[in-house]
Homo-oligomer: A and B are copies of this chain.
């Protein structure tokens, strides 16, 4: 049998198949806290709970495209950072049926996100405590999460911390122009500890990834700091 004969006679329904979804962990930072985008579930199961946005993957749609689509539907924009996170395949993670979910991880500066997200409850605030974390709503009450969404967010946090020192994830949480103090603050929140100012400055400036804009911040009752931007790699 030739390969084309084989393909013509192949029956894709010979074996039962699981469903495949993408779930999106979109994080941002404001008011000194990491936040994660949640949407209210309007259908069963877990109707009424707030959880990660997601969608089934179309048959003519790549995984990346499905994640982009979910992001566009929920936040109305393209991300500064989007990558595949991990695939979750526990058998009973969804009570409806076998659903394998490919989780994606996105970052956005709050300045862009706040324009697209109207409801304050959409952004759960992450509170860290003794090694773990919980998600709080706008009134600081803990939010119960559906499915394995707590585990998915935990995986995203690990990824964020692992990539902090050698990738551009921190910049993806800042506007196009930012001060070194703001950059250090992002690092400190993600690390969960304070950092040394002189060594942080030299470490950042010697990477060669930053370039000064010549402009300065304004508005504070103190000496204004120089604004930097990320240099495009050549």
The answer to whether B44 and A1 have CB atoms under 8 Å apart is yes
Copies of this polypeptide in the complex? 2
In the bound complex, CA of A97 to CA of B18 (Å): 15
List of B residues within 8 angstroms of A63 by Cβ: 87, 89, 100
Give the one of A1, A7, A20, A47 with max B CB within 10 A.
Answer: A20
Question: Which residue in B3, B20, B47, B86 is a CB contact (below 8 Å) of A18?
Answer: B20
Nearest residue, chain B, Cβ from A45: B3
83-134 of chain A: CB within 8 A of chain B: 84, 86-87, 89-91, 95-98, 100, 102
Q: Confirm or deny: A16 has a beta carbon within 8 angstroms of a beta carbon on chain B.
A: yes
Q: Confirm or deny: A15 has a beta carbon within 8 angstroms of a beta carbon on chain B.
A: yes
User: Measured between C-beta atoms, what is the minimum distance from A10 to chain B in Å?
Assistant: 5
- Which 3 pairs across A and B sit closest by C-beta, in order of nearness? A63-B89, A6-B44, A12-B97
